[in-house]
Amino acid sequence: MTEIGLPSGVRACLFDLDGVLTPTALVHSAAWKETFDEFLRKLQGADFRPFDPVEDYDRYVDGRPRADGVRTFLASRDIELPEGEEDDPPDRNTVHGLGNRKNALVVAKIRTEGVRPYPGSVRYLEAVRDAGLRTACVSSSANAHDVLVSAGIENLIDTRIDGLTALDRGLRGKPQPDTFLEAAHDLGLAPEQAAVFEDALVGMDAGRAGRFGYVVGVDRVGQAEELRRHGADTVVTDLADLIGVTP
């Protein structure tokens, strides 16, 4: 049996999607930047301060449900918008309108460009399943199913808890642990029997708050120390780094 870098009591792996299994975090970051910069330019004029696709993305929107990301980033700029309705059109300046504008950009990019998974993540998924562990995708994205299918890894995932599932079941988004807890429950396991894999700081917070058996931070952007401060038991730059490792 291939060593997979997890404690022996872990029976399932709960993977975030964007930035962990697929490089779609870059797509989301670019879509947030286009959305917020257009909004800020119209609101504040040509001398507006642009959305930073690294710092602002990591701090305010990465891993959060879409509407929470809008609220949190705008609050950092002392801007408040009406909530609006969940089906607000993308050109409406409400929390949900801005979120839907960003989502339309993401969907368009996924459909035109497709998605390729991280090769190391595919290797690790296969190693985990060979070792007899269950797998889940836990994402705040409403497009998780389309991304998994486009990336060709849907068959390696046993259950999926995404933004649509969270809305349907009334689950709070990250940094609350609800979606990860729901994934473990769907797999018939206690939190201490599952490992969380996340690249977002709010995902680390969720993993620690849920008292999961192990929390793996995936460092794609050079924030290893922050991931550890937020609760990672170990940090890797690629999931394949865990293959052959005994914790």
Which positions of the chain have pLDDT values less than 50?
A: 1
Residue 58: active-site member = no
Confidence at residue 1, expressed as pLDDT on a 0 to 100 scale: 37
- C-alpha distances in angstroms, 193 versus 4, 8, 10, 215? 15, 9, 4, 11
The helix or strand, by DSSP H or E, that contains position 124, with its residue range, turns out to be: helix 119-130
Residue 18: active-site member = yes
Nearest to 107 by CA among 95, 117, 99: 99
Confidence at residue 25, expressed as pLDDT on a 0 to 100 scale: 80
Q: What are the extents of the domains in the chain?
A: 12-23+115-242, 26-113
198 forms bridges with which residues in the sheet?
Answer: 217
Tokens read off for 224? 């290893």
Confidence at residue 187, expressed as pLDDT on a 0 to 100 scale: 98
Nearest to 37 by CA among 71, 10, 73, 67: 73
pTM summary value = 0.81
- C-alpha distances in angstroms, 17 versus 80, 118, 140, 183? 29, 11, 9, 13
Confidence at residue 109, expressed as pLDDT on a 0 to 100 scale: 85
Q: What is the dihedral of CA 47, 76, 26, 210, to 10 degrees?
A: 180
Q: How many Å apart are CA 105 and CA 113, to the nearest integer?
A: 12
Confidence at residue 12, expressed as pLDDT on a 0 to 100 scale: 98
Domain 12-23+115-242 has CATH 3.40.50.1000: yes
